[in-house]
Structure 1
Amino acid sequence: MKQTFLVVVIALITFGCKNDKATTDATVEEQTSISEDGKTAKQSDGFIAIQGNFLYVEKDNAAVLQTPTQMYGVIVDDMMKELNKQVEVYKTEPYQMVPVTIRARIFKKEGATNEWENKVEIKEILKVSEPTKEDSDIVKLGS
């Protein structure tokens, strides 16, 4: 009687574990569905991950993103304002730039005379980091 009970318990544990793994594999496949060209849905949406320093000046209603090679004007919208809320936590000076990583759409502003030629429209906020002492760019106006 004890042997039969032991065999039934071992069988239930073995089959129970196999079902959990199959369910987990199915959910992972659903999350990372790959299209025919070998890219995930997130990679195929046309947005680019950009890492740089962000600054928003509310009184001028202007925002910029400085990367190591390029300076971008940032479209002021709800996503930019959400990013600014997250950035404010790390700012110690009003004109301090804070390192961020975003996913955005990049485009050129044709005929821009007093604006940045290259613009970004923020689509997703990936990361906001605390500025380091060495990299902390602070723009001070006046004397």
Structure 2
Amino acid sequence: MLSIAFISCKNDSKTEETTIETKTINVDDPNRTEKQNDGLTLLKGEFVYYADAAVLQTHREVYGVVIDDKMMELNNMAKAYKKEPTDYATVSIRGKVIPKPENEEGWPFRVEIKEILSVSASNPETNNVVKLESK
């Protein structure tokens, strides 16, 4: 009798169904915040400005940065965290991502900085800088 009870309990498979509720984001939702409606993108990554070229490298993409007053402001903030002019600074910005004009060289997308959220020193282990020296 004990073995029958044991076997019947073992055959009682747990068939609980797990339902995952997905939330759809409606871009026209009136409850969206002002920042969600402004068309800007939050980007976090490594920023460098050197020799009239500004670059933002995120974990996924590399962007050319539009050189304007806001980029210069970011560069001035980043200088405090650089040892060499070619060093990167870790930044968090909000900006407008725009495609590069077809007749120009560079990365497929550019970012025009609209808001600077944070600037900090880059991890020296990931700061892949090539230094050219003449001997």
TM-score (norm 1): 0.69
- Distance in 1 between residues matched to 2:68 and 2:46, nearest whole Å: 18
Shift of the 106–36 alpha-carbon distance from structure 1 to 2, 3 Å rule, reads same
Structure 1 residues 51-66: aligned runs within 5 Å: 51-57=44-50, 60-66=51-57
Aligned position for 1:141: 132
Shift of 1:76: 0.2
Shift of 1:142: 4.0
Structure 1 residues 89-128: aligned runs within 5 Å: 89-128=80-119
Shift of 1:38: 1.9
Structure 1 residues 7-26: aligned runs within 5 Å: none
Identity %: 43
DSSP-derived class of the 1:76 partner: coil
Q: Which runs of 5+ in 2 are unaligned?
A: 1-27
User: Contact 1:98–1:131 (CA<8 Å) still a contact in 2?
Assistant: yes
DSSP-derived class of the 1:88 partner: helix
User: Contact 1:93–1:138 (CA<8 Å) still a contact in 2?
Assistant: no
- Distance in 1 between residues matched to 2:117 and 2:47, nearest whole Å: 13
- Distance in 2 between residues matched to 1:70 and 1:137, nearest whole Å: 16
Q: How many residues align?
A: 107
Q: Extract structure 1 runs of 4+ deviating beyond 6 A.
A: none
Q: Which runs of 5+ in 1 are unaligned?
A: 1-34
Shift of 1:112: 4.0
DSSP-derived class of the 2:70 partner: helix
Greater share of residues in helix: 1
